[in-house]
Amino acid sequence: MILTTLLLALGACATQPYAPTPDAPGFLSGLLHGFLSWFAMAAHVFSPEIRVYAYPNDGGWYDFGFLLGITAWGGIAAAMSD
């Protein structure tokens, strides 16, 4: 009973409406947003209007670009440590 209630509660907040628009951020925007995510997170602390992740976006391509942008920080850190 508790597990069912927990799963229903978690499932209720997991849905997001998908509103595709022609000018939704795509792969390149995701790449840029991922690379700038650390700066956006720092700015979000002082201004809640600044978001780290764009929504609505183009879907999987935006997510892929965002992921590559974030992992670029790992490559930069590894290159600087040598």
Contacts of 61 (CB under 8 A, 6+ apart): 26, 27, 30
pLDDT at 13: 64
pLDDT at 34: 93
Supply the pTM of this predicted model: 0.67
pLDDT at 14: 56
pLDDT at 56: 81
pLDDT at 19: 61
Task: Report the length, in residues, of the chain.
Answer: 82
pLDDT at 78 over 90: no
Contacts of 81 (CB under 8 A, 6+ apart): none
Question: pLDDT per residue over 35-73, tens digit each?
Answer: 999 999 999 999 989 888 888 888 889 999 999 999 988
DSSP 52: S
Nearest to 27 by CA among 19, 18, 35: 35
pLDDT at 64: 93
Strands (DSSP E) along 4-64, which ranges?
none
The residue assigned the tokens 């792969």 is 27
